[in-house]
A = this chain, B = another copy of it.
């Protein structure tokens, strides 16, 4: 098995992404929800019929695609109109090549569930700044969740026959069950909670005030990030055989 697929190394990446996600959400939480930036056409943009935030997301992805971002096996774009990379970078693909991309679900989840959890409702006019934060978080969420492909490949290789049997039956319930390691999930949640407490408070304040309630960050991991990662693992396994 290649180094990158060792579960320990995968976990290191996932652990590192916790900082990115928590920092990112704390940054976004300084602004109000600014719902208008998520509504198609609410802020009119010439020759464009999606939302203001999506416009920034797609523009950013276009630029990032030029620097080769979406040729990497762990990066997935939200938009379909990308540019050709200006650098040739050959990435190792330790997983099976695939076209699984659940960013449409991640985008929906983010706008409808995560934003209301982390931001106070209202409009402070900081549309640009809020959208810039959104793009950062969405990219990190997408990377975290699609990293499930690496997890799945690693688990698959450790028991090819056992997995093949389950996969052929397309028994989602059993596959998810076999993918689930309750102990590891508990560990993730404990760690995320500790980090949410450490990073979310003002280290100089006597009053324990949090930029985002640590319980909220925990909930986002428990109810959304972990299940969607497993969903990605499942989708990958179906194609893996």
Contacts and interface: CB of A to CB of B under 8 A. Distances in A.
Nearest to A16: B30
A182 interface: no
A204 B194 CA distance: 8
Contacts of A203: 194-195, 197-198
A194 B202 CA distance: 10
Contacts of A66: 55-56, 59
Q: How many subunits of this chain does the assembly comprise? A: 2
Nearest to A84: B46
Interface in A42-76: 43-46, 52, 55-56, 59-60, 63-64, 66-69
A144 to B, nearest CB: 14
Chain A, interface size: which category? 35 or more
Contact of A198 (B59, B87, B198): B198
Interface stretch (A109-117, A123-131, A148-156): A123-131
B128 A46 contact: no
A23 to B, nearest CB: 4
Contacts of A102: none
Interface in A180-225: 191, 194-195, 197-199, 203-204
A26 B66 CA distance: 25
A27 interface: yes
Interface of A: 16, 19-20, 23, 26-27, 30, 43-46, 52, 55-56, 59-60, 63-64, 66-69, 86-87, 89, 125, 127-128, 131-132, 136, 191, 194-195, 197-199, 203-204
Q: Return the 3 tightest CB-CB contacts between A and B, nearest first.
A: A59-B63, A198-B203, A67-B128
